[in-house]
Chains A and B, each alone.
Chain A
Amino acid sequence: MAQPFVKKDDDDEEAEYSPFLGIEKGAVLQEARVFNDPQLDPRRCSQVITKLLYLLNQGETFTKIEATEVFFAVTKLFQSRDIGLRRMVYLMIKELSPCADEVIIVTSSLMKDMNSKTDMYRANAIRVLCRITDGTLLTQIERYLKQAIVDKNPVVASAALVSGIHILQTNPEIVKRWSNEVQEAVQSRAALVQFHALALLHQIRQNDRLAVSKLVTSLTRGSVRSPLAQCLLIRYTSQVIHESASNSQTGERPFFDYLESCLRHKAEMVILEAARAITELNGVTSRELTPAITVLQLFLSSSKPVLRFAAIRTLNKVAMTHPMAVTNCNIDMESLISDQNRSIATLAITTLLKTGNESSVDRLMKQITNFMSDIADEFKIVVVEAIRSLCLKFPLKYRSLMNFLSNILREEGGFEYKKAIIDSIVILIRDIPEAKESGLLHLCEFIEDCEFTYLSTQILHFLGIEGPKTSDPSKYIRYIYNRVHLENATVRASAVSTMAKFGAKVESLKPRIFVLLRRCLLDSDDEVRDRATLYLNTLGGHGSEVETDENMNEFLFGSLEVPLVNLETSLKNYEPSDESFDINSVPKEIKSQPLAEKKAPGKKPATGLAAPPSGPATTVDAYERLLSSIAEFSSFGKLFKSSAPVELTEAGTEYTVNVVKHIFDRHVVFQYNCTNTIPEVLLENVAVIVDSSDAEEFSEVASKPLPSLPYDSPGQTFVAFEKPDGVTAIGKFSNILKFIVKEVDPSTGEAEEDGVEDEYQLEDLEVVAADYILKVGVSNFRNAWESMGADYERVDEYGLGPRENLTEAVNAVINLLGMQPCEGTEVVPSNSRSHSCLLSGVYIGNVKVLVRLSFGIDGQRDVAMKLAVRSEDESVSDAIHEIVASG
């Protein structure tokens, strides 16, 4: 018998020996023919299945035909009563995941096993059948599954419950009928049955808040024994706390006692889960934090790395919001810097950097220097980011921190690591004026030997802005001009631009810059030569007509007023013609960032070298194209702003309508997006009748009805209004949807001839001041504020009345003004008593507006606000105040 599988004779010689050496799919598939033997050899069959499973496990795939053949052969093995073989058959069927018409073949065999006296058969048959079955079969086996859930054998019960959790994803309505049995299983003595039952019960009820809350209330009184189930209960509890958090600040937090009692549980996983839940409570107080921090501190000195890691990771998160609460653990964390596990050490360092005080900085830096040489880049980046925030916290320590950064910049490292260091240095230069000169020199040294084009160009750009403002700009020229000799075309071009900036700003350097720029005229690259020529002309190096200073500065230093993404799409849409591309036609609206970007921790916009955040501009484009394609609206000029859709109907009604407000200089267009959610009807001549009697300054000029609105294919109808030019007219509009209903024959899909006129009341719609302001961010608010000047500054103070907290007040004002928050100032640290928020935007008529808000809250939660506005137009500054005063 050819059985390489169990031969033990030829081992010892080579360590590389494998029972599967030289295994081949084709040969194994041939071997699988033994499944068809009239006299089954269970051992041999088991071995062949093992080989098949080995192949699948190594990533081999079977073609559809091969899989079907194997499947049919395997089903023959149900004839054998060998337990081991049956077990392998179960595994094999799960791996093959047969299609529906194949499942039928094994259904009866599996159902027989589900009713077997052998527990192992019952448990496994349930798992296999539930894995491969679809909804239709479920109703047949439902009765058995319900029985199995309360089976006295825990393995069988768990199998049924876990299968229930899987089935719930596809057939919730069936599983929901098992609620009683599942509830009984929650009381099981078997630890894992309790865990599985609780998980399933919660999933059944998860959309019913009240039921979940009741579940938590009854179970937290203490009938849960299994640690895993206890962890689940803690998660459910914190979810309930989170959802009922609104009245938390006045009284005791509900269920907090339960969470605290879990800190004394004997299983470490429960303690950790509870401690983590407490630290993540909304607006957690230091009194609530203390017991959780204490248990985490004990974990820090555990002999188990997993426990130390879990504890330090949690403390690290706490330190971001409550650094003071963690300081007690500083000594324990310092000893973790030398931890064998580098993840733990890095977390310890970064936590210490957040909790440390000014006097401990130098000592910490010494410890970190030793540590940096033996960790991987990904950890180093984390440390660099922590040091950056430390430096901003203790600006007086910039010297030692800047030295540290420049030292590690000289060492080996990959792109991401170097970029993190450069970003940090740039931020320090921007925020700490004393650090500027030394920081710039470190950057210059770095580009002398920098292998990353991206970093070189970014640094050159930055040098061009900051360099000319230093006491001795000439010392940077050498570093910059060296690039023209030594680097690739991209870097050379960017060096040319930087030199031009020095030439423009520093009159005394101009003649020498001209000499250098002229040399660049002979460069081998087009872009470099073009730039050199362009700058020589602008700066007057060719003796030609010199541009005025203002124009030149605007050209060299002015920021691009449009988001780059918008510019890119506009350029792509531009078709070459006699008309040249007009940059003013590019939309300026920044779309809100996708959620994923916001989640990225520690990456505030406008803090690094990166450009201000810019999002997709597709919707703006789409609206513009849509509106300009409609003849009635083509004369309205350029679209200023389109609002986000506002729902005018509640969810789940027969017709759903939302509206988008399009603002033009002298017109407003409402775009009603309508959807018909009834399959049996067709709507025709759909129009919205708008009553503008509460909006005096508006008068209706055009309306564009929708000829037909079939089921489930959204359509738009429009109404346009005229308003006085340049006036930010506001008002309220009531809307009625009018249409002709025609019934549709469901079998043919054809509509009847005759229809009935009908109407449908929609909710009111308002045009508010925020509709006239575009969200446009600035990359450096302070610079923008300074350069705007105080000519049209208007300052006033307002009382906002009692508010829940500052966050609510800040958001209310941001929403009222509809402006873009800058530099992450929309986030209010929890429990703070005062906050400053920076906003920027463009007012209708293309007037830039900047707003500085200072908030304060007193013991009675009364919020006061100081509002400072700067803009390019006096009336606009006043208008902003009016909005706030009337809002």
Chain B
Amino acid sequence: MELCPSVKNVLLLDSEGNRVAAKYYCDDWPTNSAKEAFEKAVFTKTQKTNARTEAEIAMIENNVVVYKFVQSLHFFVTGGEDENELILATVLQGFCDAVGLLLRGHVDRREALENLDLILMCLDEIVDGGIILETDPNVIAGKVASQSVDAGGPLSEQTISQALATAREHLTRSLLN
């Protein structure tokens, strides 16, 4: 008997139901087409509901799915039939808010894809192999952000040519804007 609360998947879809990022932690959906079919079912069943102010909930294919829509992104967390709904909702809240923090409030498909590395790291910090790792959005975002602040790397590690290239890029951008 599985006693530890577990998450079956965490999904991030755009407003048309396309996958932005998804992570599956169990073998219920072994192939990509099975995954896509599940995502489609989840998206169509929840599409017309209003899950903006509060997280919503539905039973889909004998799973509990909690979900929330923020701007143009749809967040989902799936658990087993008997899972404590509020535990799943806590995971969902952590995911939504952490993504909100990481994307600095621009929660849309484009912003998410442009910062996909952050989103994927964020997923990695929330659930590990189905076990809940962290649910506090500030802690999650903090762990992800601390690692990406200096993504450019300290200047000393950049070669001259790279430094020049970066500078050129900055210049062109400032000229164009």
Instruction: List residues of chain A with CB under 8 Å of any chain B CB.
Output: 1, 5-6, 8-9, 11, 15, 17-20, 39, 41-43, 46, 49-50, 53-54, 57-59, 61, 80-85, 87-88, 91, 94, 120, 127, 131, 155, 158-159, 162-163, 165-166, 192, 195-196, 199, 202-203, 228, 231-232, 235-236, 239, 268-269, 272-273, 276, 303-307, 309-310, 313, 340-341, 343
B47 contacts the other chain (CB 8 A): no
Instruction: State the Cβ distance, A238 to closest chain B Cβ, in Å.
Output: 10
Residues of B within 8 A of A131 (CB): 129
Contact partner, B84, options A49, A61, A272, Cβ 8 Å? A272
**Contact yes or no, B86 A196, CB < 8 A:** no
Residue from B109, B117, B165, B173 in contact with A88 in the complex, judged by beta carbons closer than 8 Å: B117
B35 within 8 A of A: yes
Indicate whether B103 reaches chain A with its CB closer than 8 angstroms. no
Whether the Cβ atoms of A341 and B49 lie closer than 8 Å is yes
Closest to B93 in A: A306
Q: What are 5 sample pairs from A and B whose C-beta atoms fall under 8 A apart? A: A84-B151, A88-B121, A91-B121, A165-B131, A192-B133
A-contacting residues, B104-152, CB 8 Å: 109-110, 113-114, 116-117, 120-121, 124, 128-129, 131-135, 143, 146-148, 150-152
B155 interfacial by beta-carbon distance below 8 Å: no
- A199, B117: Cβ atoms closer than 8 Å: no
Partner pick for B165 among A1, A57, A166, A196, CB 8 A cutoff: A1
For A84, the closest partner residue in chain B by CB is B151
Verify B86–A310 contact, CB threshold 8 A: yes
In the complex where A50-B116, A269-B84 touch, is A340 in contact with B50 (Cβ < 8 A)?
Answer: yes
- Inter-chain contact A272/B85, CB cutoff 8 Å: yes
Q: Is the CB of A343 within 8 A of B116?
A: no
- Across-interface contacts of B158 in A (CB, < 8 A): 41
Q: Tell me if B5 and A305 are in contact (CB < 8 A).
A: no
Report which of A41, A127, A304 forms a contact with B128, defined as CB distance below 8 A: A127
Given A59-B35, A269-B86, A343 contacting B59 (CB threshold 8 A): yes
Which 9 A-B pairs have CB atoms at the shortest separation, nearest pair first?
Answer: A59-B32, A269-B86, A84-B151, A310-B85, A306-B89, A50-B117, A309-B57, A87-B147, A42-B153
Asked if B54 is at the interface of the complex by the 8 Å CB criterion, the answer is yes
- CB closest chain-B residue, reference A61: B32
Residue on B nearest A273 in the bound complex, by CB: B84
| Residue contact B113 to A20, C-beta cutoff 8 Å | yes
* Smallest CB separation, A79 vs chain B (Å): 11
Q: What residues of A have a CB within 8 angstroms of the CB of B54 in the complex? A: 303-306
Contact A42 B131 (CB under 8 A): no
- Count residues on chain B whose CB falls below 8 Å from chain A CBs: 57
Q: Are B159 and A39 in contact (CB under 8 A)?
A: yes
Q: Which of B90, B110, B124, B150 contacts A17 (CB 8 A)?
A: B110
Closest to A83 in B: B147
* Known A20-B113, A239-B3, A272-B85; contact A196-B131, beta-carbon cutoff 8 A: yes
Q: How far is the CB of A161 from chain B (nearest CB, A)?
A: 9
Whether A306 touches B57, Cβ cut-off 8 Å, given contacts A199-B4, A269-B90, A340-B49, is: yes
B167 contacts A by Cβ under 8 Å = no
A162 in complex: contacting residue of B110, B129, B148, CB < 8 Å: B129
B147 A228 Cβ-Cβ under 8 A: no
Q: Which residues of B sit under 8 angstroms from A49, Cβ to Cβ?
A: 117
- Residues in chain B near residue A239, CB distance under 8 A: 1, 3
| Bound Cα distance from A341 to B67, whole angstroms | 12
**Would A57 and B143 be within 8 Å (CB), given that A46-B151, A127-B128, A269-B90 are in contact?**
no
Closest A residue to B161 by CB, please name it. Answer: A39
A165 to chain B, nearest CB (A): 6
Docked-complex contact A166 and B129, CB < 8 angstroms: yes
- The residue that A84 contacts in the complex, of B50, B87, B147, with Cβ under 8 A, is B147
Cα-based distance from A195 to B55 in the complex (angstroms): 24
Bound complex: CA A61 to CA B31 (Å): 11
Given A61-B32, A273-B84, 14 additional A-B pairs, CB 8 A? A18-B109, A42-B152, A57-B21, A57-B120, A58-B19, A59-B35, A88-B117, A94-B124, A165-B131, A166-B128, A196-B131, A199-B131, A310-B57, A340-B49
B131 near A162 with CB under 8 A, answer: yes
Question: Which residue among A81, A83, A127, A202 has the maximum number of chain B CB atoms within 10 Å of its CB?
Answer: A83
Complex contact A155–B143 (CB within 8 A): yes
The CA of A20 and the CA of B113, in the complex, are separated in Å by 8
Q: Which residues of B contact A18 (CB under 8 A)?
A: 109-110, 113
Q: Counting CB contacts under 8 A, is B157 at the interface?
A: yes
- In the bound complex, CA of A734 to CA of B5 (Å): 50
Q: Is the CB of B55 within 8 A of A43?
A: no
Residues of A within 8 A of B50 (CB): 340
Q: Which residue of chain B lies nearest to A313 when distances are taken between CB atoms in the complex?
A: B85
Task: Evaluate contact between B133 and A158: CB separation under 8 angstroms.
Answer: yes
Q: Say whether B116 contacts A53, CB under 8 Å.
A: yes
Do B151 and A82 touch (CB < 8 A)? yes
**What residues on A are CB-neighbors of B173 within 8 Å?**
8
- Asked if B162 CB lies within 8 Å of chain A CBs, one says yes
Would you call A228 and B143 a contact (CB within 8 A)? no
Tell me, in angstroms, the Cα distance from A166 to B151 when the chains sit together: 31
Q: Distance in Å from the Cβ of A345 to the closest Cβ of chain B?
A: 12
- How close is A386's CB to chain B, nearest CB, in angstroms? 16
| Distance, CA A536 to CA B111, complexed state (A) | 77
Quote the shortest CB–CB distance from B2 to chain A (angstroms): 10
Chain B, 26-66, CB within 8 A of any chain A CB: 32, 35-36, 49-50, 54-59, 66
Q: Are B157 and A42 in contact, CB atoms less than 8 angstroms apart?
A: yes
Cα A730 to Cα B156 in complex, Å, equals 93
The residues of B that contact A192 with a CB separation of less than 8 Å are 132-135
Q: Nearest residue in B to A42 (C-beta to C-beta)?
A: B153
Task: Point out the residues of chain B lying under 8 angstroms from A80, CB to CB.
Answer: 157
Query: Does B171 make an interface contact (CB < 8 A)?
Result: no
Please determine whether B121 and A305 come into contact, CB atoms closer than 8 angstroms.
no
CB neighbors of A among B1-32 (8 A): 1, 3-5, 19, 21-22, 32
Q: Are A91 and B124 in contact (CB under 8 A)?
A: yes
Q: A165 contacts B32, CB within 8 Å?
A: no
Bound Cα distance from A453 to B59, whole angstroms:
30
Please measure, in the bound complex, the distance between the C-alpha atom of A15 and the C-alpha atom of B143, giving whole angstroms. Answer: 31
Q: Which of A1, A162, A236 contacts B133 (CB 8 A)?
A: A162
Contact B56 A306 (CB under 8 A): yes
List the B residue with the shortest CB-CB distance to A379. B59
Bound CA–CA A84/B148 (angstroms): 5
Nearest A residue to B92 via CB reads: A306
**Interface-central residue, A6, A9, A305, A310, by most chain B CB under 10 Å:** A305
Q: How far is the CA of A11 from the CA of B111 in the complex (A)?
A: 11
* Residues B58-92 near A (CB distance < 8 A): 58-59, 66, 84-87, 89-90
In the complex, what distance in Å separates the CA atom of A6 from the CA atom of B4? 41
